[in-house]
Amino acid sequence: MNPSSIRPPFIPSPTISAFQIGPLSIRFYALCILAGIIIAVWLANRRLTARGGRPGVVLDITLWAVPFGIVGGRLYHVLTDPELYFLPGKNPWNALKIWDGGLGIWGAVAVGLLGAYIGCRRTKVPFSTLMDAAAPGLLIAQGLGRWGNWFNNELYGDPSTAPWKLQIHQMDFATGKAVLDPAGTPVVLGYFQPTFLYESLWCLAAAGLLLVLDKRFQFGAGTVFALYVVFYTSGRFVFELLRSDYANTILGLRVNTWVSGLLLLAGGAWFLARHRRARSTVEAGPASSSQPDEPATSMAPGARHE
């Protein structure tokens, strides 16, 4: 074999982002998001049950949190990238096509938490306990969801010659297939840093670390979720700096870079405040312990309310 004919290694990308079942088009992006939601709900249910929660109550809360989260994620995406939908020549109705990709995690988490809060009030589950139970699963869901970006051939960094470089095709999202050249071969735009993969691996590793730390230490109510914010945003801040795909910027930095940095600081401050409060409560003794703000009648006797 001629050594010059050997192709350098790379990570291939799919040439299809959807498949048909009758008249229905199924997007791999949506399937990745769905898989993440299922695992996150399953893990949150296990963790909440271990804290004394009623088995299955997480599903009741999820029925509020997930729709809110999807709406919030799409709103964030559209509001931060309005030129994709509302400039002359663009179709504003495409803003509703969530299956083509485009969910802002910040909007999804913020509005999803609002839905979860409503669900917690209706099921009488302490909101901080639910947040702590759900935090590792959220990271896993985000890590799995990034593989939807792989199917869409998006979320990549600068051009790369590394062995783990990512092949990116020119995709036609109307058909869910790669654009073909005159010879019938999928058009390759180039080879880039696989930032989607970096973020996916970071999320999965952070989820594992969060589970270990939560088992090893008693941080106090709300601190596990605060650590989730710290872990995710610290990685996201770096990955945003590596990305080269289109994004709006402020003072030369991507909008999501600013949001990641600010939330990283907020999450760190939140963790320290909640952890110090928990330590001071323990040192003061049971007599000074405050009662939970939220009703907890659906938690079993002796439950770990946090």
Higher pLDDT, 245 or 261: 261
User: What local confidence, expressed as pLDDT, does residue 280 receive?
Assistant: 65
The structure tokens listed for 20 are 């048909």
Q: Is pLDDT at 99 greater than 70 in this prediction?
A: no
Most confident of 98-102, 106-110, 132-136: 132-136
Maximum separation of any 2 CA atoms in the chain, in Å: 80
Kindly report the number of other CB atoms within 10 A of residue 228's CB atom: 25
Q: Is 16 helix (H, G, I), strand (E, B) or coil?
A: strand
Question: pTM (2 decimals)?
Answer: 0.84
| Residue 180 DSSP class | B
Cα–Cα distance measured from residue 161 to residue 178, given in angstroms and rounded to the nearest whole number: 22
Beta strands in the chain (DSSP E): 18-21, 24-27, 166-169, 171-172, 177-178, 188-192, 249-250, 253-254
Would the pLDDT of 172 be above 60?
A: yes
Burial class (CB in 10 A: 0-12, 13-18, 19+), 285: exposed
Query: pLDDT averaged over the chain?
Result: 85
- Give the pLDDT confidence score for residue 302 in this predicted structure: 38
Distance CA 128, CA 171 (A): 42
Average pLDDT over residues 43-55: 92
pLDDT of residue 304 exceeding 50, the answer is: no
The average pLDDT across 245-269 equals 88
Question: Whole-angstrom Cα distance, residue 191 to residue 258?
Answer: 27
Contacts for 19-25: CB closer than 8 Å, 24+ residues apart: 19/176, 25/99, 25/176
Looking at per-residue pLDDT, the higher value among 95 and 159 belongs to 159
Question: Under a CB-based contact definition with an 8 Å cutoff, are residues 17 and 151 in contact?
Answer: yes
- Flag whether pLDDT at 57 surpasses 70: yes
User: Which is more confidently placed, 93 or 289?
Assistant: 93
3 pLDDT above the threshold of 90: no
**Domain ranges, ordered by start, for the chain:** 7-280
Query: What's the pLDDT score for residue 250?
Result: 84
pLDDT score for 293: 42
Position with higher pLDDT, 265 vs 102: 265
Q: What is the pLDDT of residues 179-220, one digit of tens each?
A: 999 999 999 999 999 999 999 999 999 999 999 999 888 777
DSSP string, 181-206: -TTSPBPEEEEE--HHHHHHHHHHHH
The C-alpha atoms of residue 219 and residue 128 are separated, in whole angstroms, by 12
**Do residues 228 and 210 make contact, with C-beta atoms less than 8 angstroms apart?**
yes
